[in-house]
């Protein structure tokens, strides 16, 4: 004779297990961190759910062992910036990496690099498709193949495949820690120049003089060039305060063989704000 009470208990137990598995599957908005060479790497999203046509923000979070670093989009005199290759749902489009303001890393008087110590979140905007096909499950899987160079006294190439998923109509939320991480990373992104500021550069035989007209910010400015081969990375930058705004003198690179029309980069004021700079280069004129 079948014990009805026992059968009911087993059914309830199986149903509970299935519910738990479903809950676990639907609650995973981030992948587990992966241990790489001298770093932990994690794929994160600011949004738990994907909506048709919405802009999502994802990021690869690097937590680096003490003394190790990775590189900015212009690595300087050595190194290589991280690169991401995305595998996204149909119709989803990934943008470019949004680079936080870099740090200057100078190991000698001849060499200087630009990059990141400790930890950095490299964010990428993703545009969701206008028509999302969930194939019967309220989740969308996505992944990234990340490659980078990590350096201390030596440099080591590394790569990892990271996967995660968004919910669709699940009401999934990300953790407060993840939200705070994205908020802090967004504060480090270089901003456009304020409307009343103006950047212009004068080309001299040995250097560029960059004037940030009307710039009013706390801390001494430092220029990080976006285009390699224009500025001598390791040379000291001379900053002069003028009534019109700060002037930054930059030594030209020895490999710069022809004139440039625009000096592009990021100016960081002390440990504070960073600004995008696209300064037209004036040849044969004096900035007063």
**What average pLDDT does this structure show over 152-172?**
94
Domain count within the chain: 2
258/256 Cα distance (integer angstroms): 6
Q: How big is the CA angle at 141 (ends 86 and 126), to the nearest 5 degrees?
A: 45
Using the 3D structure, point to which of 135, 163, 187 is the last residue of a domain.
Answer: 187
171/29 Cα distance (integer angstroms): 11
Please check whether residues 106 and 249 belong to one and the same domain: no
**What average pLDDT does this structure show over 191-210?**
96
- Residue at 82 is within a domain: yes
**What average pLDDT does this structure show over 35-63?**
97
Please check whether residues 50 and 173 belong to one and the same domain: yes
- Residue at 135 is within a domain: yes
Q: Which domain holds residue 145?
A: 31-187
pLDDT at position 271, please? 82
**What average pLDDT does this structure show over 92-108?**
95
Please check whether residues 41 and 160 belong to one and the same domain: yes
**What percent of the chain has a predicted confidence (pLDDT) above 90?**
77
Please check whether residues 163 and 256 belong to one and the same domain: no
Q: Domain of 155: which CATH number? A: 2.60.40.1250
**What average pLDDT does this structure show over 106-111?**
87
- Residue at 193 is within a domain: no
Average pLDDT, the chain: 88
Please check whether residues 57 and 179 belong to one and the same domain: yes
Please check whether residues 183 and 204 belong to one and the same domain: no
Please check whether residues 202 and 100 belong to one and the same domain: no
- Residue at 163 is within a domain: yes
SS3 of the chain: CCCHHHHHHHHHHHHHHHHHHHHHHHHCCCCCCEEECCEEEEEEECCCECCCCCEEEEEEEEEECCCCEEEEEEEECCCCCCEEEEECCCCCEECCCECCCCEEEECCCCCEEEEEECEEEEEEEEECCCCCCCCCCCEEEEEEEEEEEEECCCEEEEEEEEEEEEECCCCCCCCHHHHHHHHHHHHCCCECCCCCCEEEEEECCCEEEEEEECCCCCCCEEEEECCCCCECCCCCCEEECCCCCCEEEEEECCCCCCCCCEEEEEEEECCCCEEEEEEEEEECCCCC
- Residue at 22 is within a domain: no
Spatial contact of 113 and 71, defined as CB atoms under 8 Å apart: yes
Query: Confidence band (pLDDT; 50, 70, 90) for 272?
Result: confident
pLDDT at position 16, please? 39
151/257 Cα distance (integer angstroms): 30
Residue 210 has pLDDT above 60, yes or no: yes
Please check whether residues 104 and 228 belong to one and the same domain: no
**Sheet with 247-251, edge to edge strand ranges:** 221-225, 262-269, 274-283, 198-203, 207-213, 247-251, 238-240
pLDDT at position 7, please? 37
pLDDT at position 216, please? 86
Please check whether residues 181 and 98 belong to one and the same domain: yes
Residue 145 has pLDDT above 90, yes or no: yes
**What average pLDDT does this structure show over 91-115?**
94
- Residue at 12 is within a domain: no
Please check whether residues 269 and 164 belong to one and the same domain: no
Please check whether residues 153 and 218 belong to one and the same domain: no
Q: Domain of 277: which CATH number? A: 2.60.40
Please check whether residues 72 and 166 belong to one and the same domain: yes
């Amino acid at each position: 004779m079948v014990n009805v009470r026992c059968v009911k208990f087993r059914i309830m137990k199986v149903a509970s297990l299935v519910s738990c598995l479903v809950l676990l599957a639907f609650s995973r908005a981030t992948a587990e961190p992966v241990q790489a060479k001298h770093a932990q790497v994690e794929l994160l999203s600011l949004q738990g759910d994907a909506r048709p046509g919405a802009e999502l923000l994802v990021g690869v979070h690097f937590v680096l062992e003490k003394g190790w670093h990775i590189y900015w989009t212009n690595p300087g005199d050595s190194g290589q910036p991280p690169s991401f290759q995305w595998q996204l749902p149909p119709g989803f489009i990934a943008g470019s990496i949004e680079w936080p303001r870099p740090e200057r890393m100078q190991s000698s008087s001849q060499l200087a690099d630009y990059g990141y110590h400790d930890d950095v979140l490299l964010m990428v905007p993703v545009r969701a498709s206008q028509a999302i096909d969930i194939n019967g499950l309220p989740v969308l899987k996505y992944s990234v193949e990340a490659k980078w160079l990590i350096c201390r006294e030596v440099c080591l190439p590394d790569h990892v495949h990271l996967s995660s998923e968004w919910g669709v109509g699940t009401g999934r939320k990300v953790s407060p820690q993840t939200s705070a991480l994205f908020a802090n990373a967004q504060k480090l992104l270089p901003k456009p120049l304020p409307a009343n500021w103006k950047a212009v550069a004068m080309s001299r035989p040995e250097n560029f003089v960059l004037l940030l007209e009307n710039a009013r910010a706390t801390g001494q400015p430092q220029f990080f060039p976006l285009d390699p081969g224009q500025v001598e990375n390791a040379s000291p930058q001379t900053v002069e305060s003028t009534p019109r705004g700060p002037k930054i003198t930059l030594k030209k690179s020895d490999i710069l063989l022809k004139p440039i029309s625009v000096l592009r980069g990021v100016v960081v004021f002390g440990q504070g704000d960073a600004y995008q700079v696209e300064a037209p280069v004036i040849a044969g004129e004096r900035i007063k």
